[in-house]
């Protein structure tokens, strides 16, 4: 397999980091610190960073300020949401789930949903991409 890296951007000029390799070590505490020190966190209501990405799976760390919202949307594949810190409300047409640290949910593909931060929160989003025929 070929290692894949991100590329430096104006937001993250410190260079590349491994996104995909046979073994990828991910220190979530380091990534939380990084996204909470960036100008985007200070200037907007959220910030995120992709910590792993391969053909069938991506893992994104998302931080939301209190009152921030991820508007209603759908995902093409199954997702999981695991709250690392804070408290969020996860809304679907079937109902809502209030989640705190250590709680996790799974959602099947193509179900409309939204996320609301009841307090400053950090969660890990895992997205399993659907297999193509």
Q: Which residues partner with 95 through β-bridges?
A: 92
51, two tokens? 């910590």
- State the CB neighbour count (10 A cutoff) for residue 132: 6
Q: Which residues partner with 106 through β-bridges?
A: 80
Number of Cα atoms under 13 Å in the Cβ half of residue 25: 3
d(CA 91, CA 113): 5
**What CATH homologous superfamily does 4-128 map to?**
Jelly Rolls (2.60.120.10)
pLDDT reported for residue 131: 76
- State the CB neighbour count (10 A cutoff) for residue 14: 8
pLDDT reported for residue 38: 93
For the cut 70, the answer to whether the pLDDT of residue 94 exceeds it is: yes
Mean pLDDT of 89-106: 97
pLDDT reported for residue 18: 85
Domain boundary assignment for the chain: 4-128
């Amino acid at each position: 397999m070929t290692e894949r890296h991100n590329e430096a951007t104006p937001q993250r000029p410190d260079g590349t980091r491994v996104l995909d390799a046979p073994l990828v070590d991910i220190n979530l505490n380091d990534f939380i610190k990084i996204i909470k020190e960036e100008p985007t966190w200070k200037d907007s209501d959220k910030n995120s960073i992709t910590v792993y990405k391969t053909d069938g799976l991506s893992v994104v760390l998302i931080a939301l300020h209190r009152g921030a919202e991820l508007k209603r949307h759908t995902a093409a594949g199954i997702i999981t949401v695991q709250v690392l810190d804070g408290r969020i409300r996860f809304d679907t047409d079937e109902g809502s789930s209030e989640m705190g640290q250590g709680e996790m949910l799974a959602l099947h593909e193509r179900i409309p949903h939204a996320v609301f931060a009841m307090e400053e929160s950090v969660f890990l989003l895992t997205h399993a991409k659907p297999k193509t025929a």
